[in-house]
């Protein structure tokens, strides 16, 4: 995949990383407070960005405020480096910050993500920036911000447990599969953004700093490295992640998050790694899944 962005020379010069310095300072102060109060949503004066809400305006503002000329940026959308959102945000930062980009998880210093955590374990010094649509985990239980603020202030999370309990009463299990609520450092209940609950355990005691930006809702929150992140559950209904029956059809990886891909109109389908970089790396190492092996045999 080509990562080159053509330079047309006709553009007016932006400030480094697009945002003006006053905005960056405001966001930087919010980020520091967010790190100091893990899981707490810090309000910030979100700016209009040259992309619509829902395309990662919060994540982009966080990335723009922390990004430096020495950083290497990776952007993923549902695990993939080559989908529209990832490609356009990566190109955006190449244009406005002239920053080095990569698709390799291990080479990146900043990874902006939409709804996945890379399969490869993140290391010390890496920063994971999440794009968050609705940061308030209690929002669908209590629509009023004044009330949810109070609930967080009083550490009153009974309503969330009732919701999870009702899930069990109706469905026999907790049916929430993404944006599964977590408790951070034993205090704040937090929405991990709509990542599949498969990724929740990766947030716990991670070596990397995790920052969350919600542009439309104007909130920034954070999980420092080595911080306890516990998915809410009950003693008799412990938290469980998704399991897949088959390994990845292309690289044969097990214990990774898989996407279903429809192959034809006769019901043909395959399950492949949602993390494209992880899948490509494994195939380069010679691992082959069921479909790849069959194709090679046919050739």
Catalytic site residues? 39, 248, 251, 273, 279
Contact 284, 253 (CB under 8 A): no
Helix (H/G/I), strand (E/B), else coil: 99: coil
Using the rule CB under 8 A, give the single segment among 78-86, 152-160, 168-176, 274-282 that binds other proteins: 152-160
Q: Between residues 42 and 251, which has the closer beta carbon with respect to other proteins? A: 42
How far is Cα 20 from Cα 18, in angstroms, rounded to an integer? 7
CA distance 178 to 184: 17
Assigned token pair, 146: 């004044």
Task: Kindly state the smallest distance separating residue 159's Cβ from other proteins, in Å.
Answer: 17
Nearest to 194 by CA among 137, 144, 156: 137
CB of 228 to other proteins, least distance (A): 8
Q: What token pair was written down for 161? A: 């447990």
* 108 part of the interface to other proteins, by CB under 8 A: no
Diameter of the chain by CA atoms?
Answer: 64
Supply the minimum distance, in Å, between the C-beta of residue 229 and other proteins.
10
Task: By CB under 8 A, name the one of 144, 150, 269, 294 that touches other proteins.
Answer: 150
Q: Does 143 bind other proteins (CB under 8 A)?
A: no
Q: Percent helix, strand and coil across the chain, each rounded to 5? A: 30, 20, 50
**Least distance to other proteins, CB of residue 282, Å:** 29
Q: Taking the CB of residue 168, how many other CB atoms lie within 10 A of it?
A: 14
Alpha helices for 172-225 (secondary structure H): 200-203
* Cβ proximity to other proteins, 176 vs 204, nearer residue: 204
| Choice between 3 and 32, CB closer to other proteins | 32
Binding to other proteins by residue 154, rule CB under 8 A?
yes
**Binding track over 13-52 against other proteins, x by CB under 8 A:** --xxx---xx-xxx-xxxxxxxxxxx-x-xx---------
27 or 253, CB closer to other proteins? 27
C-alpha dist (Å) from residue 228 to 137, 181, 185, 236, 245? 18, 14, 5, 21, 30
Site string for other proteins, 226-255 (x = CB under 8 A): xxx---------------------------
Region of residue 218 (phi > 0: left; psi between -120 and 50: alpha; otherwise: beta):
left
DSSP string, 33-87: HHHHSTT--EE--PPP-SS-TTSSHHHHHHHHHH--TT-EEEEEETTBSSSHHHH
Restricting to residues 169-188, name those near other proteins by CB under 8 A. Answer: 185, 187-188
Q: In angstroms, what is the minimal distance from the CB of 176 to other proteins? A: 25
Site residues for other proteins per CB under 8 A: 15-17, 21-22, 24-26, 28-38, 40, 42-43, 65-69, 125, 149-150, 152-154, 185, 187-188, 205, 209, 222-228
């Amino acid at each position: 995949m080509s990562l080159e962005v053509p330079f047309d020379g006709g553009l007016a010069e932006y400030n480094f990383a697009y945002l003006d310095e006053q905005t960056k300072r405001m966001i930087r102060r919010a980020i520091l407070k967010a790190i100091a109060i893990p899981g707490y949503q810090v309000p910030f004066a979100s700016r209009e960005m040259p992309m619509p809400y829902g395309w990662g305006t919060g994540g982009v503002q966080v990335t723009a405020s922390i990004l430096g000329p020495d950083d290497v940026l990776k952007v993923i959308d549902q695990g993939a480096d080559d989908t529209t959102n990832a490609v356009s945000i990566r190109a955006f930062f190449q244009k406005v910050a002239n920053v080095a980009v990569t698709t390799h998880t291990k080479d990146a210093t900043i990874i902006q993500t939409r709804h996945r955590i890379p399969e490869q374990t993140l290391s010390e010094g890496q920063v994971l920036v999440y794009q968050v649509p609705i940061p308030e985990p209690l929002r669908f239980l209590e629509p009023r911000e004044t009330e949810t603020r109070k609930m967080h202030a009083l550490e009153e999370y009974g309503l969330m447990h009732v919701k999870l309990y009702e899930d069990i009463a109706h469905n026999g299990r907790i049916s929430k599969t993404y944006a599964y609520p977590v408790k951070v450092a034993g205090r704040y209940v937090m929405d991990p953004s709509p990542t599949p609950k498969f990724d929740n355990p990766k947030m716990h005691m991670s070596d990397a700093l995790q920052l969350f930006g919600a542009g439309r809702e104007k909130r920034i929150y954070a999980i420092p490295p080595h911080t306890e992140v516990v998915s809410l559950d009950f003693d008799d209904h412990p938290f469980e992640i998704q399991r897949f029956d088959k390994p990845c059809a292309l690289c044969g990886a097990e214990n990774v998050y898989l996407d279903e891909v429809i192959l034809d109109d006769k019901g043909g389908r395959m399950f492949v790694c949602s993390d494209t970089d992880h899948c490509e790396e494994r195939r380069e190492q010679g691992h082959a899944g069921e479909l790849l092996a069959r194709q090679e045999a046919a050739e």
